[in-house]
Each structure stands twice: as C-alpha cells, then as structure tokens.
Amino acid sequence: MKMILNGQMVDAASGEVFEVRNPATGQAVDTVPRAGRDDVHAAIEIARCGKSIMAALPAHQRSDILRKAADLIGDELEALSQLLTSENGKTIRQCRFEMATTQRLFADFAEEAKRIRGQYLPMDNVAGLEHMICYTVRQPVGIVVGIIPFNYPAELFAHKIPGAIAAGCSVIVKLPELCPLTVLRIGELMLQAGLPPQGMQMLTGFPQDLGDELLTSPDIRMISFTGSVAAAKAIAGKASTTLKRLAFELGGIDAMIVMEDADLGAAAEGVVQGRLTNGAGQICCAVKRVLVQASVYEKFLDLLLARVAEIRMGDPTSEETDLGPLITPEAADKVHEQVRKSLDLGAKLLIGGKRCGASFYQPTVLSEVTSEMPVMQEEVFGPVAPVLSFEDLDAAVRMANDSPFGLQASVFSENIHSAIRIAHQLEVGGVVINASGAFRPGNVPFGGFKQSGIGRESIVDTVLDMTEEKTIVINEAI
C-alpha cells in the first residue's frame, strides 16, 4: 500500500519502502513508503491549503462525509478485520470488535458535527452594558497532527481523526509503522466518502526519518498523541517552541481492587478479559495490578488460575483462539525480562512465564509481588497479572495510588457504597465498578491523572478540544 497525500496514493519522495510483518508468522504482509522530511513538508503544505477548505465546509457536509465513511467501513468490516489481524496479531474476534467500534465512532462523530454550538451571553447583568449583545461561536483549531499507536490502530485513529473532521480541521496522520495498513484503507474510504483531498494527509514511516517539523511548525496548532510517557515528553519539549495545544493519552499501571464481598468469579473474568487476552495485554488501560482482600485472596487465585488454564493461545485467525502474539519479538523480549527480573526479586510464578515462538507469550500470573518489582513499577505491555493482597480498604487505596500514573482503575464489590467511596479516592481518570477498567466506549471522557495524560477524549470532549471559542460583542448604541 501507499501513503496518502492530496488524495493520491503516493510513494515516499526517496522511493524507500519498508515491510509490514505479520506478528504471528513473521512473514511480510505488504510494504509501505518510508516517508522522510520532504514528505512531511509536503504534507504540511497541503494541510495548510486544507485548513481553509475544511473550515468552510458546512456542518451538514462534514457530518455526511463521516456518516458515509462509517457506512463504507461497515461494508468492508470483515475484510478490514482480516487485514488488521494479519498486521497487528490480535485475534480475529477482537479485530472484528475493534472494527465495529471504529465504525460506530465515525457514526457518532458524524452526529456530533451537527451539535457544535456557542452560547448567548446576556450583557445586562453588568451595569452600563445593557446596550450590548454578546455571543460565542466555536471554530476549528486549524491543522491537527494525530499520532496513532500500534495496539488499537483503527479504533484509536477513530477516537481522534473523525473528531478533527467533525470540528472542521485539516489533519495530518502519523500512522503506526508496525501496522499502518488497516488505517490506510480507512483513509481511502474517507476520500471515497467525499473528504476533500486537502483535508487529511497520511504518512507512513519512522520518527527518526521524519524530523521535527510536525512538532515545531507554527502551522500545526494541535498534536493529539497516544503512546508512551517518554515520547510524550519529547513531543511536548519540541512543541513548546510554538505553544501548540497538546492532547496526550499515555500509559498506566492500572489497579483492580477486589473486595471480600465481590463476585470473585466476575473479578477473575475481569482479569482474563481486561488483561490477559484482550490485545495480548497491550492496552494502556488494561488491568496491570490486581489487589485482593486477604480474606478471599487464596480463593480468588484458585478461580483465576483455573480460568487462565482455559485460555487458548495460537493462530489469531482461528475463531477458537483467545490470545494472539505480541506485536514483535522485541516486545515479547521486554515482557519476559520484566517477569524474569521480578522473579529474581522474589515473585512467585503461578502459571505461564514462558516465550512461545518469536512473539507469543504465555498468559502469566504472579504472586508474592512487591512494590520494587518491574511488574509493579513499570507498565508491562503483555499478558502478565501480578496479584497481591491487602487487609483493609484504606491500604488498598494507598497501594493503588502509589504510582506516577493514574489512567483507569476498577473496583469489585457487592457493596455499592464502599465501591463508590473507593472510586472517589482513587487518583485516576476513570473507575469502573464490577467490570474491568479496560473500558472505553467513546461516549464517556477518557484520560488520566498524573503522567497518564493531558486532556480527555470522547465524542464531545475531542470535538471541543479541536475547536477554539470566539466571543463576539455587538454594541447596539452606535
């Protein structure tokens, strides 16, 4: 496949390409252009023209484009799901769910495009200003750069870019180098749906080749990034020279708190679905620390281990598979190293803990973990669940909050009053009660405290963030 500039599928200016490989087999799926600085500069020049074109599109046209794109995605849902599986490694069932979510987000943003509004401000509440009329309007922020990660490329693209289109922005998309194909196809469908060619540019390539112009150009007015804290800090430092608007959705070491009155079976299933199988644990809001009240700790472990033993790992294209590979062998190396170091520090391996082939990693449960271990200090991007006990709820809250991150959390309890009290005390952007914290439907604000991010993404919040509020005052006395 090729990248998209000015509505055309084009090669890189250098003519260089790189391979996109299937994580499950290691085989090449396709090649894409290896963009460089010349391509970035060309994308910015086109986006500069697109800024006025997109801003001039009436809301109903922006809505129609997104709705038609949603319909086209629906028409190709199975083909897109198969493509996503081949380049990303998630199971086909998970990829179908991601593509259905992507389609829904496009449809939701299509509706939100028609809901962008300002407000009337009465001026007679200030003495002497009775002769004035004031109202506000919301206008597009300008050119938005969206930087998309590998783990949920289609869905996370859909959490950002349709919102920018709904707001009337011109966008430049930096695609994940490990799996750009599905999103490129969605880009083609957006053009087919009527998106002006100047409205969205798509670049494939590696950060070290692209240079800093996407981050430093004064023409770029907003950067929406999902990824690591280290990358976000580098982006923020470079973008600070032009005081851009930044939206960062970063990582987490998300805690699940299981109280003694919880439905332990549901909580164990929450670990399996919210940590060990979904995306092979490569989810920013996945359950990453399981805190269980001491009185039910052993019973919970028995239920969890029995459930983990049932997980079917293997070919992600099979309808029977629950767990696919990690994105690369290097990713599996890192997870294994984090587990191994934790075991050296005294953690107990209850199940899993082994590499299988190049990129597969067994679903793993650890006990007797302590705060200094990598599986507790670092974000482990793989199917690993450390489980530890607590005596009282205050201790559970302290343990959950003892982290530089604060993305999501979950609480399992049959006592809704206790669960809500804990939810209010947790230093995180979202708390899910009696379900996994790996939860992001799109219509609720999503984002984190502390180093887990800046800002919130949702159907409403994203569009607001990608618009500027302007105040207009009319002096009737003249």
Which of 284, 285, 379, 457 does the annotation list as catalytic?
A: 284
Tokens of 97: 């769910």
Instruction: Measure the CA–CA gap between 270 and 290, rounded to whole angstroms.
Output: 10
Tokens of 370: 């302590």
Phi, psi angle pair for 144, to nearest 5°: -115, 135
Name residue 21's beta-bridge partners. 28
Contact at 8 Å (CB) between 249 and 284? yes
Nearest residue to 409 via CA among 294, 279, 301, 270: 270
Contact at 8 Å (CB) between 239 and 44? no
Is 285 catalytic? The answer is no
Structure letter (DSSP) for residue 295: G
Q: Report which secondary-structure segment, H or E, holds 85.
A: helix 77-88
Name residue 247's beta-bridge partners. 224
Is 356 catalytic? The answer is no
Of the chain, the end-to-end C-alpha distance in Å amounts to: 61
Contact at 8 Å (CB) between 193 and 72? yes
Distance of CA 142 to the CA centre of its chain: 22
Q: From its phi and psi, is residue 10 left (phi > 0), alpha (psi between -120 and 50) or beta?
A: beta
Which of 112, 155, 249, 379 does the annotation list as catalytic?
A: 249
Reduced to 3 states, what is the DSSP secondary structure of residue 337?
helix
Tokens 């409205």 map to which residue? 199
Contact at 8 Å (CB) between 327 and 22? no
Residues assigned a catalytic role: 249, 284
